[in-house]
Structures are given as C-alpha cells and as structure tokens.
Amino acid sequence: MARLVQGTLSRREILEKCLALGAVVLASPSPAGAMMAAFEEREKQVRKPTPPNELGPFYKKRAPETALLRAPGDAGMPLSVSGQVFDTRGETLSNAVVEVWQTDHFGHYDLDGYRYRGKLVANNSGRYKFDSIMPGHYPDRVCQHIHYLVTAPGHKPLITQLYFASDPVFEGDPDHNFNRDPLIHSRDLVRPVILAGDPKEIHAAVQFELCLERL
C-alpha cells in the first residue's frame, strides 16, 4: 500500500516536485524559483485587495487625528463608518493609518481648514471607525463618496473611495447602475447602508473593509 505522504512535504517542495515531473509547467521567462515563490504567495491570498479609485483634487496632508468629523448642529444625515484593515492573507493590520476626506452635506470640501477630514489609526484588531454625516453631491462628481488613503508599513498604499447603495443615482439598484458614475469601476466600492435609531434620532451606518497588498 502506498505510503501517504501528504503533510510530510512543504508546499514549496510539492511545487518543486510538480515542476520536476511536469505536473506544473512554466511558461514564463522569469526564474523558476521566483515563479514558485509567487505561486506560493498567491495561494495564501484569502482576500481580494480593495479596488483602487482616484485620489481626486481635494486631498490635504496633515489631517487631524480624530474620529469625530461632524459637529453639533451640522446639516445632513448622521453617518458612522467602520471596518477592519486586512492584508490579502486575511491578517489584520493593527498599525494601518486610514485618512478620510469628504464634502459636507451641501457638497463642499473644506479647502481652508480640516472639516470632514480625519486621520484614524486602526486598533489592535485592525478596526477603524469614524462619525460623520452623509456627504453631499457636487457638480463635478455623479455620486456621493468618501475618499480614503490607507497606509501600513510593508504594504502598498491604498487610494480608494467609498460609495453608498442608497445614493439616488443608483435608483435602488446599484448592481446594475453603479457605473452611472464613470469613476466607479467596481461594484465592491458601493456599500449597503444600515438605518438605525428611531425616526427622531435616525442615523446611517456603513461598513467598509479594507484590504492592502504587500509590497
């Protein structure tokens, strides 16, 4: 009876054996070792990287470290956004820095100061959260959105944008209508909106997980 060898060889050894016996064929000018290492690395991916999206012209450096972007009396629908920062292996990135910026309810960016701009540091579980208001529409863009710049040591910076499934532009069907905004290349960036509270204290909540690629 053949001895069961599964578990006695490393993944790399199995790949090298496959290569030697022709079970895996290389069709690349790159060195075999580099291709095997890349194969092994890619197999460990359990999460898709978050799709990138344009930086836009309104990013400002040195945003304050705050998770409270709205002030008492601000117009607009209260919104809380939360999520977790991962890498493509599914490991949480506890040291990620998440910068967000958006318009106010009326579709205006604060270009003089730092209203609706914040820098968040992910906690030990890679989680981040901030409180804001639902951003407004503005003439140069079709959809409501929040901009993100996410950085973590050893990972590629992620520049992206969060969109809302409740946006009237989608007419209730973001699956079919997400590309009405020519800047939305991926449905994944349009997130469901949860309504909570009661009619007098209604607020919206959105989850947006972030996944960075390793350098």
Which residue's CB is nearer to Fe ion, number 52 or number 56? 56
Of the ranges 27-35, 49-57, 151-159, 207-215, which one interacts with Fe ion (CB under 5 A)? 49-57
Cα separations (Å) of 136 from 12, 174, 176? 51, 18, 22
Please give the helix or strand (H or E) that residue 198 lies within, else none.
Answer: none
For residue 127, the 8-state DSSP code is E
Query: How, if at all, do strands 78-87 and 210-212 pair?
Result: parallel
Which residue's CB is nearer to Fe ion, number 56 or number 76? 56
Based on DSSP, count helices (H) and strands (E) in the chain, helices before strands: 3, 10
| Minimum distance, C-beta of residue 47 to Fe ion, in the bound complex (Å) | 26
| Minimum distance, C-beta of residue 187 to Fe ion, in the bound complex (Å) | 19
| Minimum distance, C-beta of residue 142 to Fe ion, in the bound complex (Å) | 11
Task: Identify the burial level of 72 via C-beta atoms within 10 angstroms of its C-beta, where 0-12 means exposed, 13-18 middle and 19 or more buried.
Answer: exposed
Of the ranges 44-52, 56-64, 177-185, 193-201, which one interacts with Fe ion (CB under 5 A)? 56-64
Which residue's CB is nearer to Fe ion, number 91 or number 110? 110
Token output for 51: 């799709």
Query: If you search the block for the tokens 């898709």, which residue do you land on?
Result: 48
Q: How many residues bind Fe ion (CB under 5 A)?
A: 1
- For the packed helices 11-21 and 32-43, what is the interaxial angle rounded to 10 degrees? 130
Of the ranges 55-63, 71-79, 91-99, 126-134, which one interacts with Fe ion (CB under 5 A)? 55-63
Please report, as residue ranges, which positions from 94 to 153 form the binding site for Fe ion (by CB under 5 A): none
Using CB under 5 A, which of 51, 56, 76, 157 touches Fe ion? Answer: 56
- Phi/psi at 42 (nearest 5 deg)? -65, -35
Query: If you search the block for the tokens 């209260």, which residue do you land on?
Result: 78
Residue nearest Fe ion, CB atom distance: 56
For residue 199, the 8-state DSSP code is T
| Minimum distance, C-beta of residue 56 to Fe ion, in the bound complex (Å) | 4
- Is residue 80 within 8 Å of residue 132, measured between CB atoms? yes
Of the ranges 51-59, 85-93, 112-120, 175-183, which one interacts with Fe ion (CB under 5 A)? 51-59
| Minimum distance, C-beta of residue 100 to Fe ion, in the bound complex (Å) | 11
Which residue's CB is nearer to Fe ion, number 61 or number 200? 61
Which residue's CB is nearer to Fe ion, number 51 or number 56? 56
In the complex, the residues that contact Fe ion under the rule CB under 5 A are: 56
